[in-house]
Chain A
Amino acid sequence: MFEFIQYDFMQRAFIAAILVSVACGAVGTYVVIKKIVSMSGAISHAAFGGVGLGYLLGVNPVVAAIPFSIVAALSMGAVQEKVKISEDTAIGILWSVGMALGIIFVNLKSGYAPDLFSYLFGSILTVSNTDLYIMLVLDLIILMVVFLFRREFMGVSFDEEFSKVVGLPSTLINMLLLALIALSVVVLIKVVGIILLIALLAIPAAICKQYTYDIHKLMISSTIIGAILTSLGLILAFIFNLSSGATIILVLGAALFISYFIHE
């Protein structure tokens, strides 16, 4: 039954499941409580521009996605500050412009892009050691920033006006949070892919938020729930020979659905 654990690629996949859950617990929690899920979706889609750029320049697409999605996230933040166009509109534009850029970059690189699909829909079974190291480093950065700025993130998420009034640099902190979302997106890309990842980022926190009002418990429980559900999706995908990213997302969706009923 559990023979799959012997395979190297399965072991790497389980480690990847744990690494993504850390990002989901720490950053997904803010995404959910600050209600910036669709903005995060826009950042994740914009990251495809980075993946395409990576192809074009011949560097690891995941590495190329790091600066690209951070720039996309910060431009999103700048729009928020200026409010010349509505946030909703800006989200929609960033969403598709980022994707379009990625496609053009891939076009420019003559030849076939073999594993493009794995960035779009995820492929946890092909995660390499390099991918794991990148994810680990990004997780550590995320955890450190969240720890250092936990009061500020809490302040701007809860009551932005009041946080300004007590001298909290809210613009800077909002930007920092968007940059963290960009980093989380990169952590998640290989596992569920750009198109599906917003659900992985948001669902663990959305499930746990029903059961606790303590933000620390929320972060920890989201991490644990995220790791369990991602692993479960991975196992099901392996057994039934299904696409791993989609299976993980459906497991998360089902869990959210069930949790609502349990909570009621």
Chain B
Amino acid sequence: MSLNALEMKDVSFSYNHQQVLEDINFTIEENDFVAIIGPNGGGKSTLLKIVLGLLTPDKGEVKVFGREPKKALDLVGYLPQHTHFDLDFPIDVFETVLMGRYHGMFKNYTSEDREIALQALKDVDMERYKDRQISRLSGGQMQRVLIARALAREPKLLLMDEPMASIDPEMQNSFYQLISHLKDRMALVLVSHDVGTVSMHVDKIACLNQKLYYHGPAEEAGEGLEEIYHCSIEHISHGIPHRVLRKH
């Protein structure tokens, strides 16, 4: 019997009494490819942080491959939406990616770890920058490095919070190609506002706005969601902030 990559049962979460997630029931099977969409402040990033054990829900149960989130971290990769680090830090691109290979105290990075990190950099076409200090990268290049850091973990569940922010169209194409290969090896969760593009690639879509409004096959999303796609393509591509979801 194979375990689900993620099982959330009746999960609620609030930041200082402000309810952000309410009774979320959400299952991701092995090798699922799911996009999470929803308006700003809908709780998408919060949900990922719960899966990573960075936040603890007020109630409900979270299991990642049948384990507590904090006990499953060696199976999970993460690309954060925002990073908090100092770009002027003495670290180069390769070392940054290598951090994705961390597997515990007193464990040196092996030559295999280094190869995997290098391959991850090749996958995002950043190999030639591997010795560059991170403050000397453009925003999109930095984003690629962080994608590589998440890939280098070789996770069974890969969580990516708006990976395509500041990535150019050409790289976006190769990114979707890359993850279509990754699909046989892991479950993928992608937070995105670009509903149009995402729906062409993913198998399932989850709409999150405090509650989970829809979770199912992308093509069966029905009229409502088509409407949503339509609206989001038109408006998001014009850079106008817009509520992606209908009011429920």
Chain A positions near chain B (C-beta within 8 angstroms): 33, 35, 148-149, 151-152, 154-155, 157-169, 209, 212-215, 218
Q: How far is the CB of B75 from chain A (nearest CB, A)?
A: 10
Partner of A162, one of B74, B90, B99, B109: B99
Task: Evaluate contact between B84 and A166: CB separation under 8 angstroms.
Answer: no
Task: Evaluate contact between A213 and B99: CB separation under 8 angstroms.
Answer: no
Q: Which residue of chain B lies nearest to A35 when distances are taken between CB atoms in the complex?
A: B86
Q: Which residue of chain A lies nearest to B72 when distances are taken between CB atoms in the complex?
A: A167
Task: Evaluate contact between A164 and B89: CB separation under 8 angstroms.
Answer: no
Chain B positions near chain A (C-beta within 8 angstroms): 52-54, 70, 73-74, 76, 78, 80, 83-86, 89-92, 95-96, 99-100, 102-106, 109, 133, 149, 153
List the 8 shortest-distance A-B pairs measured between CB atoms, nearest first.
Answer: A167-B73, A213-B133, A166-B102, A159-B85, A213-B90, A215-B90, A165-B78, A165-B52
Task: Evaluate contact between A158 and B89: CB separation under 8 angstroms.
Answer: yes
Which of B83, B86, B102, B109 counts the most A-chain CB atoms under 10 A from its CB?
Answer: B102
Q: A148-B106, A167-B73, A167-B74 are in contact. Are A159 and B84 (CB under 8 A)?
A: yes
Task: Evaluate contact between B89 and A155: CB separation under 8 angstroms.
Answer: no
CA distance A165 to B64 in the complex (A): 13
Task: Evaluate contact between A163 and B83: CB separation under 8 angstroms.
Answer: no
Q: Which residue of chain B lies nearest to A212 when distances are taken between CB atoms in the complex?
A: B90
Partner of B91, one of A35, A149, A158, A167: A158
- List A contacts of B89 (CB < 8 A): 33, 157-158
CA distance A214 to B105 in the complex (A): 22
Q: How far is the CB of A138 from chain B (nearest CB, A)?
A: 22
Q: A167-B73, A213-B133 are in contact. Are A162 and B78 (CB under 8 A)?
A: yes
- List A contacts of B80 (CB < 8 A): 161-162
- List B contacts of A166 (CB < 8 A): 73, 99-100, 102-103, 153
Partner of A33, one of B90, B102, B106: B90
Task: Evaluate contact between A155 and B102: CB separation under 8 angstroms.
Answer: yes
- List B contacts of A163 (CB < 8 A): 99, 102
- List B contacts of A160 (CB < 8 A): 84
Q: How far is the CB of A148 from chain B (nearest CB, A)?
A: 7
Known: A158-B89, A163-B99, A215-B90. 8 other contacts (CB 8 A): A148-B106, A155-B102, A158-B91, A159-B99, A162-B78, A167-B73, A213-B90, A213-B91
**What are 17 of the A-B contact pairs (CB < 8 Å)?**
A33-B86, A33-B89, A149-B105, A154-B91, A158-B99, A159-B83, A159-B99, A162-B78, A162-B80, A163-B99, A163-B102, A164-B54, A165-B78, A166-B102, A168-B102, A209-B90, A215-B90
Task: Evaluate contact between B99 and A155: CB separation under 8 angstroms.
Answer: yes
CA distance A163 to B133 in the complex (A): 19
CA distance A248 to B208 in the complex (A): 60
CA distance A168 to B85 in the complex (A): 17
